[in-house]
Chain A
Amino acid sequence: MIVARDLRKSFAGKEVLRGLNLRAQRGAITLLVGANGAGKSTTMKILAGLVKADRGSAHVNRIDIAHDRLAALRSLSYLPQSPSFHARLTGGELLRFYGQLRGVAPSRPGAMLELAGVQDVERVRTAALSGGMRQRLGLALLLLPDAPVLLLDEPGLSLDPRWRKRLQEILQSEAERGKTVLVTTHLIAEWNGVADHCLLCREGRIECELHPNDLPHDFEELERFAPREGDRENVAAV
């Protein structure tokens, strides 16, 4: 489970998060949607221990990330927006490194490469990989530690439609196994009926919860979306 309370963060005097509250349930996929600069990626980075919040608290699996960063990070796995890797290492070397770092069984890296359909990159240097292959290698790395909390920042942007669908299936099966999955995305319509919750982030806050089976068809529609008073009260309760 992920719980963020009153998160505030400014960069160079510009307030990016203005008291963001968020809760992502165990065994569910929660989407975080919103325009550029709404604070989605900053929220993800705070949860992944990459950025420190100016105020507020973030708990991952009941562990406060500000107080015990390493313990919190052990229970999560994060896939950044455009995953980049050491250019001279091969896919296999990279997976083995992260596997050793997370203490996983030696057979798991190979299995994850297969799951993400990138077993061919085992001996290929990551500099030679396309954007889509890099994303899939990132997916293999995300699933490698079998962490109870999965954070994905704009996954699937470089993936073809078939692999975007496959990504959703994988995340659904991970959620069914009891994991907490939090995803930020711009490709809202594709998640219609896939996610369990969808939170609309605007100006550094969660403005309302959208119905996961009735998501806006495109980004313009999302921008025009005006929450009703009840929706706001629900978020206040979160």
Chain B
Amino acid sequence: MSLRSDMHVSRAVFRRELRSVVINRYFQVFSALALLGGVAALLFAEDANATGFFILQVALYFVSLFSLLAGVSSAQGEREEWPLLLSQPLRRRTFVICKFFALFSIFGSVLLLLFVPAFFAGATLASLALLFSQTLLLAAAFVALGLACGFLARDRAQALITAVSAWLLMLVGIDLVALFAARWPVLQRVPEIWTACLMLNPLDAFRIEALFALQQIPAEAAGTTPLAAWWIAHAALWFGFIALVWAGALTHFASARLKQWEG
């Protein structure tokens, strides 16, 4: 397929996805929440640091959840149209990648509703820009997870259950398992296992990175093991890396699933 043909296919899919996302209810609710969060940060946060914490909580819970739901909805929303859609001269991988970038772009725009009011609450531009870019990366990882769950499942209900279960596992499940397993003496001798589990989970990587950055805790304070010390010293870099790996791997998985679809 020529580059020109690829471009107009990508443009068409991208535009369609933008239109679908704008009229998607999850996205509309998220936009309202982002605006409310931004205004609340402006009105109620006592200082710039508190604004950062407030945004961190919104990002951790709402951005991850709604980007996940938007991904699921995007994958499942037109499932019945696949026989028509996939009989078009369109690479299935291009279709999934365009979906991902459209969702990512629109989430990036809506996040401004959350971050711009915070700027007027006194937070510094540098700290907000860092938090914004990290929140964007978090959204990218969860949009990709939503797409993967959406293309993996047979129907919308199964996709939602899978996606929300994955989100809960990443939000609290891994931490709880680590907490209980840490009582086992054999595992206490290898704390790197727990550190690695937390490092590989984008929600934990985001949480740790943002908290250490906001609290301005020196890296040495948490450096009980060499791995933990390295992680905290490179928390921002590591989070960027792990979020991109998750986003890339899950988008690849989603397109592989769609390629297998026959019907």
Residues of A participating in the B interface, judged by any CB pair closer than 8 Å = 45, 48-52, 70-71, 73-74, 76, 78-80, 83-89, 93, 97-98, 100-103, 138, 141
- Does B84 reach chain A (CB closer than 8 Å)? yes
A86 touches B81 (CB 8 A): yes
For residue B222, CB closer than 8 A to chain A, the reply is no
Task: Name the contact of A49 in the complex, choosing from B19, B81, B87 (C-beta under 8 A).
Answer: B87
What sequence of 0s and 1s flags, for each residue 48-86 of chain B, a beta carbon within 8 Å of any chain A beta carbon? Answer: 000000000000000000000000000001101101101
- Whether A50 and B1, one on each chain, are in contact in the complex, defined by CB atoms closer than 8 angstroms, is no
Inter-subunit contact A97/B15 (CB<8 Å): yes
Per-residue CB proximity of B11-33 to A under 8 Å, as 1/0?
Answer: 11101100110011000000000
Provide 24 A-B residue pairs closer than 8 Å at the C-beta atoms, listed in order of the A residue: A49-B86, A49-B87, A51-B262, A52-B262, A70-B89, A70-B90, A73-B89, A80-B84, A83-B83, A84-B81, A85-B81, A86-B77, A87-B77, A88-B23, A89-B16, A89-B19, A89-B20, A97-B12, A100-B8, A100-B12, A100-B15, A101-B90, A103-B5, A138-B84
Q: Does B112 contact A (CB under 8 A)?
A: no
CA A78 to CA B90, docked complex, whole Å:
14
Interchain nearest-CB distance for B251 vs A (Å) = 20
Which chain B residue lies CB-closest to A98? B88
> How many angstroms between the C-alpha atoms of A93 and B81 in the bound complex?
14
**New A-B contacts (18) at CB < 8 Å, excluding given A97-B15, A97-B16:** A45-B263, A48-B83, A48-B87, A50-B263, A52-B262, A70-B90, A73-B87, A74-B89, A80-B83, A83-B83, A84-B81, A84-B83, A85-B81, A85-B84, A93-B19, A98-B88, A100-B12, A101-B13
B263: chain A residues within 8 A (beta carbon): 45, 50-51
CB-CB nearest in chain A for B23: A88
Q: Tally inter-chain residue pairs, CB-CB below 8 A.
A: 79
Closest to B78 in A: A86
Query: How many whole Å from B23's CB to the nearest CB in chain A?
Result: 5
In the complex, the chain A residue whose C-beta lies closest to that of B19 is A93
| Distance from B89 Cβ to chain A, minimum over Cβ atoms (Å) | 4
Query: How far does the alpha carbon of A103 sit from the alpha carbon of B4 in the complex, in Å?
Result: 10
User: Please, which residues of chain A bring their CB within 8 A of the CB of B154?
Assistant: none
Instruction: Kindly state whether residue B9 has any CB partner on chain A within 8 Å.
Output: yes
Residues from chain A with a CB closer than 8 A to the CB of B90 are 70, 73, 101
- Quick one: which of B1, B19, B78, B84 contacts A83, CB cutoff 8 A? B84
Task: Write out, one digit per residue, whether chain B residues 79-111 have a CB within 8 A of any chain A CB (1) or not (0).
Answer: 011011011111100000000000000000000
Evaluate whether A84 and B19 lie within 8 angstroms (CB atoms) in the complex, with A45-B263, A52-B262, A78-B87 already known. no
Q: Closest CB of chain B to A82's CB: distance in Å?
A: 9
A103 to B11, CA, bound (A): 11
- Bound-state Cα–Cα, A70 to B15, Å: 21
What's the least CB distance linking B128 to chain A, in Å?
Answer: 34
Which of the listed residues A50, A52, A83 has the most CB atoms from chain B within 10 Å of its own CB?
A50
The one of B12, B24, B91 that contacts A70, using a Cβ cutoff of 8 Å: B91
For B87, the chain A residues whose CB sits under 8 A away are 48-50, 73, 76, 78, 80
A50 touches B83 (CB 8 A): yes
Contacts of A141 in B (CB 8 A): 84
List residues of chain A with CB within 8 A of the CB of B23.
88
Distance between Cα atoms of A82 and B81 in the complex (Å): 10
The answer to whether B19 touches A100 (Cβ under 8 A) is no
- What is the distance, in angstroms, from A143's C-beta to the closest C-beta of chain B? 13
Given contacts A84-B80, A85-B81, A86-B81, contact A101 B12 (CB under 8 A): yes
Q: Which residues of B contact A98 (CB under 8 A)?
A: 88
Q: How far is the CB of A182 from chain B (nearest CB, A)?
A: 13
List B contacts of A45 (CB < 8 A).
83, 262-263
